[in-house]
């Protein structure tokens, strides 16, 4: 990793929590590799951030394709050492199990669960070799509590939690910090306009989630904050 600049790779950086994370980390001086499918939104973030910093680097990447993730990682790791991966890309459908099509279920699991496992698989060998790194997974309060109309989503988030809990034990002696963050309702475009109009006052702001995640990443001692649940003070919707 000699001579390479450290970077934070944020998936799903084009919108919502990922966009807030991009601002928070880039404004704090970190090199941010922001990936998502909508490159035009990432380019907008880059130009909005120009007045503060020049360290947001946008890349088009769909997390459901392992080969393109591996290709992306091989390219960027010629220049950067990914010190932190934030698995944030995610989607849901808000439908009961009986109404979810197979296509919808596949997309949810491929994006939220497999996509995150693919990115982890690409960064892990280097993190093990350099004996350090941080992997932050944006889960959800569905890992804590039952919400109807969220079966595939809950399976994907709880699946990623199970995967990363096992991984955490496997790499304990490698100084790799694995932090699972489970937020409750947050104002982002993942919600319908109807929900946002009705509840946005009591929902959390993505900027506050991003600020907390930066703090968690910045703790560099012989401990790790393993699992974090963040809820609106008034509780779940
Ligand atoms: N908002 C909440 O209340 C809440 C609560 C708990 C957890 N979360 C989690 O927080 C994360 C961010 O969601 P959000 O609320 O900020 O929603 P959002 O505004 O809809 O953002 C989702 C992000 O994921 C990206 N994405 C989706 N599919 C992708 C794919 N196949 N490849 C690459 N990127 C993909 C989107 O980018 P492109 O479309 O440009 O690819 C977008 O940047 C998700 O994992 C979500 O489950 C949200």
- Predicted confidence at residue 154, as pLDDT, reads 98
Please list the pLDDT of the chain residue by residue as tens digits (237 residues). Answer: 568 999 999 999 999 999 999 999 999 999 999 999 999 999 999 999 998 889 999 999 999 999 999 999 999 999 999 999 999 999 999 999 999 999 999 999 999 999 999 999 999 999 999 999 999 999 999 999 999 999 999 999 999 999 999 999 999 999 999 999 999 999 999 999 999 999 999 999 999 999 999 999 999 889 999 999 999 999 999
70 lines ligand 1 (CB under 6 A): no
User: Which residues are CB-contacts of 83 (< 8 A; sequence separation ≥ 6)?
Assistant: 6, 7, 8, 132, 133, 134
Q: What was the pLDDT predicted at 168? A: 98
Q: Please say if 73 is a catalytic residue.
A: no
Any atom of ligand 1 within 6 Å of the Cβ of 113: no
For residue 117, the CA-to-ligand 1 centroid distance in Å is 16
Ligand 1 contact via 58 beta carbon (within 6 Å)? no
Q: What is the pLDDT of residue 90?
A: 98
Decide: 152 in ligand 1 pocket, CB within 6 A: no
Question: What is the model's pLDDT at position 1?
Answer: 54
Report the chain's C-alpha Rg in angstroms: 17
For ligand 1, say whether the CB of 76 is within 6 Å of any of its atoms.
no
Nearest protein Cα to ligand 1, atom 42: 12
- Rounded to an integer, what distance in angstroms lies between the CA atom of residue 18 and that of residue 87? 9
Cβ-contact 94, 149 below 8 angstroms: yes
CATH code (residue 173)? 3.40.50.720
Residue in 73, 153, 163, 217 annotated catalytic = 153
- Structurally, how many domains does the chain consist of? 1
In a domain, 80, yes or no: yes
pLDDT given at position 52 = 86
**What CA–CA distance (Å, rounded) separates 107 from 101?**
10
Which pLDDT score, from 0 to 100, does residue 95 have? Answer: 98
Q: Considering the domain boundaries, does residue 237 fall inside one? A: no
Rounded Cα gap, residues 152 and 44, in angstroms: 32
Instruction: Answer yes or no: is 235 within a domain.
Output: no
Cβ distance 31 to 83 under 8 Å? no
Separation between Cα atoms, residue 228 and residue 103, nearest integer Å = 31
Domain range enclosing 214: 5-230
Give the mutation target among 60, 161, 190 for probing the ligand 1 site: most ligand atoms within 8 A of CB.
190
Q: How many CB atoms lie within 10 A of CB 47?
A: 10
Ligand 1, residue 37: give the atom nearest the CA.
Answer: 41
Classify residue 29: in a domain, yes or no. yes
How many angstroms separate the CA atoms of 109 and 155, rounded?
A: 8
- 150: in domain: yes
Residue 136 falls within a domain, yes or no?
A: yes
Evaluate whether residue 236 is within a structural domain: no
d(CA 43, CA 68): 20
With a 6 A CB cut-off, is 186 part of the ligand 1 pocket?
yes
Q: Is residue 85 part of a domain?
A: yes
Q: Which of 75, 66, 45, 40 is nearest to 57 (CA)?
A: 45
Stated pTM of the model: 0.98
Residue-level length of the chain:
237
Which residue's CA is the closest to the ligand 1 atom numbered 43? 12
């Amino acid at each position: 990793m000699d001579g390479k600049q450290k970077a934070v790779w944020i998936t799903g950086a084009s919108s919502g929590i990922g966009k807030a994370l991009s601002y928070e980390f880039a404004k704090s001086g970190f090199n941010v590799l922001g990936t998502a499918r909508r490159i035009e939104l990432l380019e907008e973030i880059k130009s909005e951030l120009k007045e503060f910093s020049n360290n947001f680097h946008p890349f088009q990447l769909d997390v459901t394709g392992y080969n393109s993730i591996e290709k992306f990682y091989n390219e960027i790791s010629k220049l950067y050492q990914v010190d932190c991966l934030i698995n944030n890309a995610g989607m849901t459908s808000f439908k009961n199990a009986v109404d979810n099509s197979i296509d919808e279920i596949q997309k949810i699991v491929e994006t939220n669960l497999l996509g995150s496992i693919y990115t982890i698989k690409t960064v892990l060998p280097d993190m093990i070799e350099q004996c350090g790194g941080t992997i932050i997974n944006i889960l959800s309060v569905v890992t804590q509590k039952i919400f109807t109309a969220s079966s595939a989503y809950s399976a994907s988030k709880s699946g990623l939690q199970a995967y990363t809990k096992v991984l955490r034990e496997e790499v304990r002696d490698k100084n790799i910090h694995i932090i699972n963050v489970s937020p409750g309702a947050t104002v982002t475009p993942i919600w319908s306009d109807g929900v946002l109009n009705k509840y946005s006052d009591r929902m959390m702001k993505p900027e506050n989630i991003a600020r907390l995640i930066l703090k968690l990443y910045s703790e560099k001692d012989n401990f790790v904050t393993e699992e974090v649940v963040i809820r609106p003070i008034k509780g779940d919707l």
